[in-house]
Chains A and B, each alone.
Chain A
Amino acid sequence: MNSVNDRSRDIGPFVPAPDDDMLICRCEEITKGEIRQAVHDGMWTMTEIRRYLRAGMGLCQGQTCARLVKGIVARELGVSPAEIEPATSRVPMRPIEMRIFANEAKEEEDYEQ
Protein backbone atom coordinates (compact mmCIF):
# COMPACT_ATOMS: atom_id res chain seq x y z
CA MET A 1 0.00 0.00 0.00
CA ASN A 2 2.89 2.40 0.73
CA SER A 3 1.67 5.30 2.83
CA VAL A 4 3.99 8.02 4.06
CA ASN A 5 4.70 7.45 7.75
CA ASP A 6 6.95 9.92 9.60
CA ARG A 7 8.56 7.97 12.42
CA SER A 8 9.41 11.17 14.27
CA ARG A 9 5.75 11.89 15.07
CA ASP A 10 5.41 12.39 18.84
CA ILE A 11 3.57 9.46 20.42
CA GLY A 12 4.32 10.57 23.98
CA PRO A 13 6.57 8.91 26.54
CA PHE A 14 6.56 5.25 27.56
CA VAL A 15 4.50 4.99 30.73
CA PRO A 16 4.97 1.74 32.71
CA ALA A 17 1.71 -0.14 33.38
CA PRO A 18 0.84 -2.76 36.02
CA ASP A 19 0.12 -5.44 33.40
CA ASP A 20 3.40 -4.98 31.51
CA ASP A 21 4.61 -8.44 32.54
CA MET A 22 1.60 -10.19 30.94
CA LEU A 23 2.66 -12.73 28.30
CA ILE A 24 1.19 -11.89 24.90
CA CYS A 25 3.17 -14.11 22.52
CA ARG A 26 3.14 -17.47 24.29
CA CYS A 27 5.40 -19.25 21.80
CA GLU A 28 8.25 -16.79 22.22
CA GLU A 29 7.30 -15.50 25.69
CA ILE A 30 7.06 -11.82 24.80
CA THR A 31 5.30 -9.54 27.27
CA LYS A 32 2.97 -6.62 26.79
CA GLY A 33 5.59 -4.28 28.25
CA GLU A 34 8.23 -5.43 25.76
CA ILE A 35 5.82 -4.79 22.87
CA ARG A 36 4.90 -1.34 24.19
CA GLN A 37 8.57 -0.45 24.69
CA ALA A 38 9.36 -1.59 21.14
CA VAL A 39 6.74 0.79 19.77
CA HIS A 40 8.53 3.62 21.60
CA ASP A 41 11.82 2.40 20.08
CA GLY A 42 10.30 3.03 16.64
CA MET A 43 8.77 -0.35 15.77
CA TRP A 44 5.44 0.95 14.49
CA THR A 45 4.40 -1.94 12.26
CA MET A 46 3.56 -5.59 12.92
CA THR A 47 6.41 -6.58 10.61
CA GLU A 48 8.96 -4.59 12.62
CA ILE A 49 7.60 -5.84 15.98
CA ARG A 50 7.94 -9.38 14.73
CA ARG A 51 11.48 -8.92 13.51
CA TYR A 52 12.63 -6.97 16.55
CA LEU A 53 11.03 -9.03 19.33
CA ARG A 54 10.17 -12.38 17.69
CA ALA A 55 6.51 -11.94 18.78
CA GLY A 56 4.55 -14.05 16.27
CA MET A 57 7.64 -15.83 14.97
CA GLY A 58 7.28 -19.03 17.00
CA LEU A 59 5.53 -22.33 16.36
CA CYS A 60 2.07 -20.81 15.81
CA GLN A 61 3.46 -18.02 13.60
CA GLY A 62 1.31 -15.41 15.32
CA GLN A 63 -1.99 -17.19 14.79
CA THR A 64 -2.67 -16.83 18.51
CA CYS A 65 -1.22 -13.43 19.41
CA ALA A 66 -1.30 -11.34 16.22
CA ARG A 67 -4.64 -9.68 17.06
CA LEU A 68 -3.51 -8.89 20.59
CA VAL A 69 -0.20 -7.44 19.40
CA LYS A 70 -2.01 -5.35 16.83
CA GLY A 71 -4.30 -3.92 19.52
CA ILE A 72 -1.35 -3.03 21.76
CA VAL A 73 0.59 -1.35 18.92
CA ALA A 74 -2.50 0.60 17.78
CA ARG A 75 -3.25 1.82 21.30
CA GLU A 76 0.36 2.88 21.85
CA LEU A 77 0.35 4.83 18.58
CA GLY A 78 -3.10 6.27 19.21
CA VAL A 79 -4.59 4.91 15.98
CA SER A 80 -7.33 2.41 15.12
CA PRO A 81 -6.21 -1.27 14.89
CA ALA A 82 -7.69 -1.22 11.37
CA GLU A 83 -4.82 1.07 10.34
CA ILE A 84 -2.17 -1.49 11.35
CA GLU A 85 -1.26 -3.87 8.52
CA PRO A 86 -0.95 -7.54 9.53
CA ALA A 87 2.45 -9.17 9.10
CA THR A 88 2.91 -11.42 6.08
CA SER A 89 1.73 -15.03 6.51
CA ARG A 90 4.39 -17.41 5.33
CA VAL A 91 4.59 -20.99 4.08
CA PRO A 92 4.17 -23.62 5.51
CA MET A 93 0.75 -23.32 7.19
CA ARG A 94 1.78 -25.76 9.94
CA PRO A 95 5.31 -26.73 11.02
CA ILE A 96 6.41 -29.66 8.88
CA GLU A 97 9.37 -32.05 9.24
CA MET A 98 12.25 -31.42 6.89
CA ARG A 99 12.22 -35.02 5.61
CA ILE A 100 8.54 -34.64 4.61
CA PHE A 101 8.85 -31.15 3.15
CA ALA A 102 11.78 -32.47 1.12
CA ASN A 103 9.59 -35.06 -0.61
CA GLU A 104 8.18 -32.63 -3.14
CA ALA A 105 10.38 -33.91 -5.94
CA LYS A 106 9.21 -37.47 -5.49
CA GLU A 107 5.53 -36.68 -5.95
CA GLU A 108 5.26 -38.19 -9.43
CA GLU A 109 6.96 -41.42 -8.46
CA ASP A 110 4.57 -41.78 -5.53
CA TYR A 111 1.52 -41.45 -7.79
CA GLU A 112 2.85 -44.12 -10.13
CA GLN A 113 3.21 -46.70 -7.38
Chain B
Amino acid sequence: MNSNAEVIVIGGGIIGNAAAYYLSKRGLKVIVLEGSDFIGNGGSSRNGGGVRQSGRDVRELPLVMYGIKNIWPTLSEELETDCEYHQDGNLRLGKNEKHKAILTKLADNAKSCGLDVRMIDGEEVRRINPFLSDEVTCASWCPTDGHANPLTTTLGYYKMARRNGVRFISGEKVTGLRMIKGRVRKVICASGDVFEGENVLVAAGFDSREILGTVGVDIPMTRSLLECLVTEAQPHMFDQMLGTAEADFYGHQTKHGSFVFGGSSGFEGCNKDNGTPVSSAKTAPCICRGIMKYFPDLANAKIVRTWAGWSDKCADGVAVVGAIDEVPGLYTSCAMSGHGFGIGPAAAHQLAQLIVTGTTDVDLGTLRYDRFKAKI
Protein backbone atom coordinates (compact mmCIF):
# COMPACT_ATOMS: atom_id res chain seq x y z
CA MET B 1 0.00 0.00 0.00
CA ASN B 2 1.13 3.54 -0.66
CA SER B 3 3.21 4.90 2.21
CA ASN B 4 3.06 8.55 1.09
CA ALA B 5 0.65 11.10 2.51
CA GLU B 6 0.16 14.82 2.75
CA VAL B 7 0.43 14.52 6.52
CA ILE B 8 2.01 11.74 8.59
CA VAL B 9 0.77 11.87 12.16
CA ILE B 10 2.95 10.16 14.76
CA GLY B 11 0.89 9.05 17.75
CA GLY B 12 -2.66 7.66 17.82
CA GLY B 13 -3.82 9.43 20.97
CA ILE B 14 -6.50 12.06 21.23
CA ILE B 15 -4.38 14.72 19.54
CA GLY B 16 -3.16 12.47 16.70
CA ASN B 17 -6.63 11.04 16.08
CA ALA B 18 -8.34 14.42 16.27
CA ALA B 19 -5.76 16.04 13.96
CA ALA B 20 -6.24 13.16 11.50
CA TYR B 21 -9.99 13.71 11.68
CA TYR B 22 -9.82 17.49 11.12
CA LEU B 23 -7.23 17.11 8.33
CA SER B 24 -9.22 14.40 6.54
CA LYS B 25 -12.35 16.53 6.89
CA ARG B 26 -10.47 19.21 4.93
CA GLY B 27 -9.69 16.60 2.27
CA LEU B 28 -6.07 15.81 3.09
CA LYS B 29 -4.53 12.38 2.79
CA VAL B 30 -3.32 11.31 6.22
CA ILE B 31 -1.48 8.31 7.72
CA VAL B 32 -1.40 7.82 11.51
CA LEU B 33 1.39 5.72 13.03
CA GLU B 34 0.78 4.41 16.55
CA GLY B 35 3.75 2.84 18.33
CA SER B 36 1.81 0.56 20.67
CA ASP B 37 -0.60 -2.17 19.62
CA PHE B 38 -3.62 -0.14 20.66
CA ILE B 39 -5.13 3.11 19.44
CA GLY B 40 -5.34 5.65 22.26
CA ASN B 41 -3.12 3.74 24.63
CA GLY B 42 -1.26 6.57 26.37
CA GLY B 43 -2.49 9.35 28.58
CA SER B 44 -5.50 9.83 26.25
CA SER B 45 -7.19 6.73 27.70
CA ARG B 46 -5.74 6.89 31.19
CA ASN B 47 -6.63 10.37 32.43
CA GLY B 48 -9.37 11.56 34.77
CA GLY B 49 -11.54 13.10 32.04
CA GLY B 50 -11.31 16.76 33.04
CA VAL B 51 -12.35 19.34 30.44
CA ARG B 52 -11.45 22.41 32.42
CA GLN B 53 -10.07 25.89 32.08
CA SER B 54 -9.71 26.89 35.73
CA GLY B 55 -6.45 25.95 37.40
CA ARG B 56 -4.52 26.14 34.15
CA ASP B 57 -1.51 28.27 33.41
CA VAL B 58 -2.67 31.41 31.58
CA ARG B 59 -0.53 30.46 28.58
CA GLU B 60 -2.84 27.49 27.89
CA LEU B 61 -6.09 29.34 28.55
CA PRO B 62 -6.88 30.87 25.14
CA LEU B 63 -6.54 27.47 23.41
CA VAL B 64 -8.59 25.49 25.93
CA MET B 65 -11.26 28.24 26.08
CA TYR B 66 -11.50 28.05 22.28
CA GLY B 67 -12.10 24.29 22.50
CA ILE B 68 -14.73 24.58 25.21
CA LYS B 69 -16.57 27.25 23.25
CA ASN B 70 -16.34 25.79 19.75
CA ILE B 71 -15.62 22.06 19.86
CA TRP B 72 -16.72 20.25 23.02
CA PRO B 73 -20.44 21.23 23.06
CA THR B 74 -21.17 19.45 19.75
CA LEU B 75 -18.48 16.78 19.79
CA SER B 76 -20.75 13.79 20.50
CA GLU B 77 -22.91 14.60 17.47
CA GLU B 78 -19.91 15.29 15.28
CA LEU B 79 -18.16 12.02 16.19
CA GLU B 80 -21.38 9.95 16.29
CA THR B 81 -20.05 8.71 19.63
CA ASP B 82 -21.25 9.51 23.14
CA CYS B 83 -18.33 11.54 24.51
CA GLU B 84 -20.34 12.01 27.74
CA TYR B 85 -19.45 15.70 27.85
CA HIS B 86 -20.86 17.48 30.89
CA GLN B 87 -20.48 21.21 31.32
CA ASP B 88 -21.56 21.50 34.92
CA GLY B 89 -18.63 23.37 36.41
CA ASN B 90 -15.41 22.64 38.22
CA LEU B 91 -14.86 22.96 41.95
CA ARG B 92 -11.22 23.24 42.90
CA LEU B 93 -11.26 22.52 46.60
CA GLY B 94 -9.23 23.93 49.46
CA LYS B 95 -9.03 23.06 53.15
CA ASN B 96 -6.84 25.79 54.65
CA GLU B 97 -5.41 29.28 54.17
CA LYS B 98 -2.49 28.03 52.08
CA HIS B 99 -4.89 26.34 49.67
CA LYS B 100 -7.01 29.48 49.57
CA ALA B 101 -3.98 31.53 48.56
CA ILE B 102 -3.08 29.09 45.75
CA LEU B 103 -6.66 29.03 44.46
CA THR B 104 -7.10 32.79 44.67
CA LYS B 105 -3.95 33.36 42.63
CA LEU B 106 -5.03 30.85 39.97
CA ALA B 107 -8.51 32.38 39.83
CA ASP B 108 -7.16 35.94 39.54
CA ASN B 109 -4.85 34.91 36.69
CA ALA B 110 -7.69 33.18 34.85
CA LYS B 111 -10.01 36.15 35.34
CA SER B 112 -7.46 38.37 33.63
CA CYS B 113 -7.93 36.15 30.53
CA GLY B 114 -11.69 36.67 30.62
CA LEU B 115 -12.61 33.37 32.30
CA ASP B 116 -15.62 33.33 34.62
CA VAL B 117 -14.07 31.84 37.77
CA ARG B 118 -14.50 33.00 41.35
CA MET B 119 -13.65 32.05 44.91
CA ILE B 120 -16.48 30.71 47.08
CA ASP B 121 -16.67 29.72 50.75
CA GLY B 122 -17.36 26.29 52.27
CA GLU B 123 -21.05 26.95 52.62
CA GLU B 124 -21.48 27.81 48.96
CA VAL B 125 -19.36 24.79 48.00
CA ARG B 126 -21.81 22.54 49.82
CA ARG B 127 -24.77 24.27 48.20
CA ILE B 128 -23.29 23.27 44.84
CA ASN B 129 -22.19 19.83 46.02
CA PRO B 130 -23.87 18.74 49.27
CA PHE B 131 -21.79 15.56 49.51
CA LEU B 132 -18.54 17.37 50.32
CA SER B 133 -17.32 17.16 53.94
CA ASP B 134 -16.89 20.11 56.31
CA GLU B 135 -13.13 19.88 55.83
CA VAL B 136 -13.60 21.85 52.61
CA THR B 137 -13.48 25.53 53.55
CA CYS B 138 -13.10 27.20 50.15
CA ALA B 139 -12.98 26.51 46.42
CA SER B 140 -12.61 28.15 43.08
CA TRP B 141 -15.75 27.73 40.99
CA CYS B 142 -15.74 27.82 37.21
CA PRO B 143 -19.23 27.11 35.84
CA THR B 144 -18.11 26.53 32.23
CA ASP B 145 -15.70 23.68 33.09
CA GLY B 146 -16.70 20.06 32.92
CA HIS B 147 -15.68 16.52 32.09
CA ALA B 148 -16.01 13.91 29.36
CA ASN B 149 -15.19 10.27 28.68
CA PRO B 150 -11.57 10.05 27.48
CA LEU B 151 -11.98 6.52 26.10
CA THR B 152 -14.95 7.12 23.83
CA THR B 153 -13.74 10.59 22.80
CA THR B 154 -10.30 9.34 21.74
CA LEU B 155 -11.70 6.30 19.94
CA GLY B 156 -14.56 8.36 18.49
CA TYR B 157 -12.03 10.60 16.71
CA TYR B 158 -10.28 7.44 15.50
CA LYS B 159 -13.51 5.93 14.21
CA MET B 160 -14.46 9.04 12.25
CA ALA B 161 -10.97 9.69 10.88
CA ARG B 162 -10.77 6.07 9.74
CA ARG B 163 -14.20 6.44 8.14
CA ASN B 164 -12.84 9.52 6.29
CA GLY B 165 -10.16 7.31 4.77
CA VAL B 166 -7.26 7.96 7.15
CA ARG B 167 -4.89 5.03 7.22
CA PHE B 168 -4.08 3.96 10.80
CA ILE B 169 -1.24 1.56 11.55
CA SER B 170 -0.71 0.33 15.11
CA GLY B 171 2.42 -1.41 16.36
CA GLU B 172 4.41 0.89 14.07
CA LYS B 173 7.00 2.51 16.31
CA VAL B 174 8.71 5.54 14.82
CA THR B 175 12.44 5.78 15.50
CA GLY B 176 13.32 8.94 13.61
CA LEU B 177 12.67 11.64 11.04
CA ARG B 178 14.77 12.60 8.01
CA MET B 179 14.87 15.87 6.12
CA ILE B 180 15.14 16.10 2.34
CA LYS B 181 15.91 19.36 0.55
CA GLY B 182 15.45 21.38 3.71
CA ARG B 183 12.04 19.97 4.64
CA VAL B 184 10.95 17.12 6.87
CA ARG B 185 10.08 14.20 4.66
CA LYS B 186 10.82 10.65 5.82
CA VAL B 187 9.47 8.87 8.86
CA ILE B 188 11.54 5.80 9.78
CA CYS B 189 10.04 2.96 11.82
CA ALA B 190 11.54 0.18 13.97
CA SER B 191 9.88 -2.39 11.68
CA GLY B 192 11.96 -1.12 8.75
CA ASP B 193 8.97 0.60 7.16
CA VAL B 194 9.55 4.11 5.84
CA PHE B 195 6.76 6.64 5.27
CA GLU B 196 6.98 9.92 3.40
CA GLY B 197 4.93 12.99 4.12
CA GLU B 198 4.83 16.59 3.00
CA ASN B 199 4.10 17.42 6.62
CA VAL B 200 4.73 15.50 9.83
CA LEU B 201 2.86 16.02 13.11
CA VAL B 202 4.54 14.57 16.18
CA ALA B 203 1.99 13.90 18.93
CA ALA B 204 3.57 10.92 20.65
CA GLY B 205 3.58 12.02 24.28
CA PHE B 206 6.93 11.55 26.00
CA ASP B 207 8.30 9.63 23.00
CA SER B 208 8.01 12.88 21.02
CA ARG B 209 11.24 14.04 22.64
CA GLU B 210 13.32 11.26 21.11
CA ILE B 211 11.59 11.49 17.72
CA LEU B 212 12.03 15.29 17.49
CA GLY B 213 15.62 14.84 18.65
CA THR B 214 16.46 13.07 15.38
CA VAL B 215 16.05 16.41 13.56
CA GLY B 216 17.78 18.41 16.26
CA VAL B 217 14.78 19.71 18.22
CA ASP B 218 14.69 19.18 21.97
CA ILE B 219 11.68 19.84 24.17
CA PRO B 220 12.59 19.52 27.85
CA MET B 221 10.19 17.08 29.48
CA THR B 222 10.17 14.16 31.87
CA ARG B 223 7.82 11.24 32.26
CA SER B 224 5.75 10.89 35.39
CA LEU B 225 3.46 8.00 36.33
CA LEU B 226 -0.05 9.04 37.37
CA GLU B 227 -2.66 6.70 38.77
CA CYS B 228 -6.46 6.46 38.72
CA LEU B 229 -9.16 4.24 40.10
CA VAL B 230 -12.84 3.64 39.38
CA THR B 231 -15.69 2.54 41.64
CA GLU B 232 -18.68 0.37 40.88
CA ALA B 233 -21.76 2.25 39.66
CA GLN B 234 -23.32 4.42 42.37
CA PRO B 235 -26.64 6.26 42.49
CA HIS B 236 -26.32 9.67 40.84
CA MET B 237 -24.72 12.19 43.22
CA PHE B 238 -23.26 15.15 41.31
CA ASP B 239 -22.17 16.35 37.86
CA GLN B 240 -19.28 18.73 38.61
CA MET B 241 -15.62 18.05 37.90
CA LEU B 242 -13.56 18.20 41.07
CA GLY B 243 -9.97 19.02 41.79
CA THR B 244 -7.93 20.29 44.71
CA ALA B 245 -5.66 23.24 45.37
CA GLU B 246 -2.61 21.02 45.53
CA ALA B 247 -3.70 19.03 42.45
CA ASP B 248 -3.34 15.82 44.49
CA PHE B 249 -6.79 14.46 43.70
CA TYR B 250 -9.37 14.96 40.97
CA GLY B 251 -12.38 13.17 39.58
CA HIS B 252 -16.04 13.02 38.67
CA GLN B 253 -19.04 10.74 38.53
CA THR B 254 -19.45 9.27 35.06
CA LYS B 255 -22.63 8.78 33.09
CA HIS B 256 -22.31 5.07 33.91
CA GLY B 257 -22.56 5.95 37.62
CA SER B 258 -19.03 4.99 38.56
CA PHE B 259 -16.66 7.50 40.08
CA VAL B 260 -13.31 8.02 38.37
CA PHE B 261 -10.69 9.54 40.64
CA GLY B 262 -7.07 10.26 39.99
CA GLY B 263 -4.52 11.03 42.63
CA SER B 264 -0.97 10.74 43.75
CA SER B 265 1.11 9.23 46.53
CA GLY B 266 4.09 11.57 46.35
CA PHE B 267 6.25 8.98 44.60
CA GLU B 268 5.27 9.97 41.05
CA GLY B 269 8.74 11.14 40.11
CA CYS B 270 10.44 7.89 41.12
CA ASN B 271 7.96 5.09 40.56
CA LYS B 272 9.32 1.67 39.66
CA ASP B 273 7.60 1.13 36.34
CA ASN B 274 9.83 -1.42 34.56
CA GLY B 275 8.91 0.19 31.26
CA THR B 276 5.13 -0.29 31.48
CA PRO B 277 2.75 2.00 33.30
CA VAL B 278 1.49 -0.20 36.15
CA SER B 279 -0.27 0.76 39.37
CA SER B 280 1.81 0.76 42.53
CA ALA B 281 0.59 -0.78 45.79
CA LYS B 282 0.82 2.53 47.64
CA THR B 283 -1.13 4.91 45.44
CA ALA B 284 -4.68 3.52 45.20
CA PRO B 285 -5.07 3.16 49.01
CA CYS B 286 -3.69 6.68 49.35
CA ILE B 287 -6.24 8.01 46.83
CA CYS B 288 -9.01 6.19 48.77
CA ARG B 289 -7.97 7.88 52.00
CA GLY B 290 -7.97 11.23 50.24
CA ILE B 291 -11.41 10.69 48.70
CA MET B 292 -13.00 9.62 51.98
CA LYS B 293 -11.90 12.85 53.65
CA TYR B 294 -13.74 14.82 50.99
CA PHE B 295 -16.64 12.37 50.49
CA PRO B 296 -17.41 10.34 53.63
CA ASP B 297 -20.47 8.88 51.84
CA LEU B 298 -18.24 6.98 49.41
CA ALA B 299 -16.49 4.88 52.09
CA ASN B 300 -18.53 1.81 51.17
CA ALA B 301 -18.26 2.23 47.39
CA LYS B 302 -16.28 -0.63 45.91
CA ILE B 303 -13.19 -0.06 43.81
CA VAL B 304 -13.35 -2.30 40.74
CA ARG B 305 -10.22 -1.25 38.87
CA THR B 306 -7.05 0.80 39.16
CA TRP B 307 -4.68 1.83 36.40
CA ALA B 308 -1.72 4.03 35.66
CA GLY B 309 -0.48 6.15 32.79
CA TRP B 310 2.40 8.35 31.91
CA SER B 311 2.16 12.06 31.74
CA ASP B 312 4.67 13.87 29.52
CA LYS B 313 5.60 16.62 31.90
CA CYS B 314 7.11 19.76 30.41
CA ALA B 315 9.92 21.57 32.22
CA ASP B 316 7.59 24.54 32.82
CA GLY B 317 4.37 22.51 33.14
CA VAL B 318 2.78 23.98 29.99
CA ALA B 319 1.99 22.26 26.68
CA VAL B 320 4.01 22.69 23.49
CA VAL B 321 1.82 23.21 20.40
CA GLY B 322 2.76 24.56 16.98
CA ALA B 323 5.08 24.51 13.98
CA ILE B 324 8.84 23.98 14.28
CA ASP B 325 10.47 26.86 12.38
CA GLU B 326 13.86 25.22 11.75
CA VAL B 327 12.28 22.16 10.14
CA PRO B 328 9.68 23.26 7.56
CA GLY B 329 6.71 20.89 7.43
CA LEU B 330 7.19 19.70 11.03
CA TYR B 331 4.55 20.30 13.71
CA THR B 332 4.16 19.05 17.23
CA SER B 333 1.78 18.89 20.15
CA CYS B 334 3.46 17.27 23.13
CA ALA B 335 4.62 17.81 26.71
CA MET B 336 0.94 18.24 27.55
CA SER B 337 1.87 17.95 31.25
CA GLY B 338 -1.21 16.03 32.35
CA HIS B 339 -3.75 18.47 30.85
CA GLY B 340 -3.79 17.04 27.34
CA PHE B 341 -7.28 15.57 27.23
CA GLY B 342 -9.34 18.72 27.72
CA ILE B 343 -7.13 20.84 25.46
CA GLY B 344 -6.39 18.05 22.94
CA PRO B 345 -9.30 18.58 20.52
CA ALA B 346 -8.56 22.33 20.31
CA ALA B 347 -4.82 21.75 19.84
CA ALA B 348 -5.52 19.24 17.05
CA HIS B 349 -8.13 21.49 15.42
CA GLN B 350 -5.78 24.46 15.35
CA LEU B 351 -2.83 22.42 14.11
CA ALA B 352 -4.93 21.02 11.26
CA GLN B 353 -5.92 24.57 10.34
CA LEU B 354 -2.28 25.70 10.59
CA ILE B 355 -1.11 22.88 8.30
CA VAL B 356 -3.78 23.59 5.67
CA THR B 357 -4.06 27.40 5.77
CA GLY B 358 -0.92 28.56 7.57
CA THR B 359 -3.02 30.47 10.12
CA THR B 360 -4.69 29.78 13.46
CA ASP B 361 -7.70 31.33 15.21
CA VAL B 362 -5.86 31.20 18.53
CA ASP B 363 -2.39 32.69 18.95
CA LEU B 364 -0.13 29.72 19.78
CA GLY B 365 2.82 32.00 20.58
CA THR B 366 2.84 31.19 24.29
CA LEU B 367 3.09 27.46 23.59
CA ARG B 368 6.17 27.60 21.37
CA TYR B 369 8.75 24.80 21.39
CA ASP B 370 11.67 27.25 21.67
CA ARG B 371 10.50 29.22 24.70
CA PHE B 372 12.85 27.44 27.14
CA LYS B 373 15.72 29.51 28.45
CA ALA B 374 18.42 28.55 30.94
CA LYS B 375 18.12 30.15 34.36
CA ILE B 376 21.12 32.49 33.97
Across the interface, which residues of B come within 8 angstroms of A96, CB to CB?
302-303
State in angstroms the CA–CA spacing of A58 and B162 once bound together.
28
Among B37, B167, B286, B300, the one with the most A-chain Cβ atoms within 10 Å of its Cβ is B37
A107's nearest neighbour on chain B, judged by CB, is B285
Known A96-B303, A98-B231, A99-B299; judge A47-B167 contact (CB<8 A).
no
- B152, CB-defined interface residue at 8 Å: yes
Are A91 and B306 in contact (CB-based, < 8 A)? yes
Are B300 and A99 in contact (CB-based, < 8 A)? yes
Are B169 and A4 in contact (CB-based, < 8 A)? yes
Across the interface, which residues of A come within 8 angstroms of B292, CB to CB?
98-99, 102
Secondary structure at the B interface, as helix, strand, loop or mixed, is mixed
- Out of A3, A51, A99, A104, name the residue touching B151 (CB < 8 Å): A51
Are A103 and B170 in contact (CB-based, < 8 A)? no
Q: State the Cβ distance, B20 to closest chain A Cβ, in Å.
A: 11
We find that the number of chain B residues with CB closer than 8 angstroms to chain A is 50
Contacts between the two chains (Cβ within 8 Å), count: 124
State in angstroms the CA–CA spacing of A59 and B232 once bound together.
7
State in angstroms the CA–CA spacing of A63 and B62 once bound together.
45
- B291, CB-defined interface residue at 8 Å: yes
- A113, CB-defined interface residue at 8 Å: no
- A105, CB-defined interface residue at 8 Å: yes
Across the interface, which residues of A come within 8 angstroms of B154, CB to CB?
51
Are A2 and B171 in contact (CB-based, < 8 A)? yes
Are A97 and B306 in contact (CB-based, < 8 A)? no
- Out of B151, B232, B284, name the residue touching A91 (CB < 8 Å): B284
| Chain B positions 157-189 with a Cβ under 8 Å from a chain A Cβ | 158-159, 162-163, 167-173
State in angstroms the CA–CA spacing of A52 and B21 once bound together.
17
Are B193 and A8 in contact (CB-based, < 8 A)? no
Q: State the Cβ distance, A91 to closest chain B Cβ, in Å.
A: 5
- B301, CB-defined interface residue at 8 Å: yes
Query: Which segment of A13-21, A37-45, A64-72, A73-81 sits at the interface?
Result: A37-45
Across the interface, which residues of B come within 8 angstroms of A5, CB to CB?
37, 169-171
Q: State the Cβ distance, B353 to closest chain A Cβ, in Å.
A: 25
| Chain B positions 255-300 with a Cβ under 8 Å from a chain A Cβ | 256, 279, 281-282, 284-286, 288-289, 291-292, 298-300
Across the interface, which residues of B come within 8 angstroms of A61, CB to CB?
304-305
Q: State the Cβ distance, A35 to closest chain B Cβ, in Å.
A: 14
Q: How does the 8 Å CB contact mask read for B147-159 relative to A, with 1 for contact and 0 for none?
A: 0000110110011
State in angstroms the CA–CA spacing of A5 and B36 once bound together.
10
State in angstroms the CA–CA spacing of A85 and B170 once bound together.
14
Are A97 and B282 in contact (CB-based, < 8 A)? no
Query: Which segment of B39-47, B114-122, B333-341, B355-363 sits at the interface?
Result: B39-47
Across the interface, which residues of B come within 8 angstroms of A91, CB to CB?
279, 284, 305-306
- Out of B35, B169, B285, name the residue touching A105 (CB < 8 Å): B285
Q: State the Cβ distance, B2 to closest chain A Cβ, in Å.
A: 11
B170's nearest neighbour on chain A, judged by CB, is A5
A57's nearest neighbour on chain B, judged by CB, is B305
Q: List 26 A-B contacts (CB under 8 A).
A: A1-B37, A1-B171, A2-B173, A4-B191, A4-B193, A5-B37, A5-B169, A6-B1, A7-B168, A41-B162, A42-B155, A42-B158, A47-B38, A48-B38, A51-B154, A52-B151, A52-B152, A52-B155, A54-B256, A91-B305, A92-B304, A92-B306, A97-B302, A98-B300, A101-B285, A105-B286
Question: Which residues from chain B sit less than 8 Å from chain A, CB to CB?
Answer: 1, 35-41, 45, 151-152, 154-155, 158-159, 162-163, 167-173, 190-191, 193, 231-232, 256, 279, 281-282, 284-286, 288-289, 291-292, 298-307
Lowest 7 CB-CB distances: which A-B pairs, in order? A104-B285, A102-B288, A95-B302, A51-B151, A7-B168, A99-B299, A47-B38
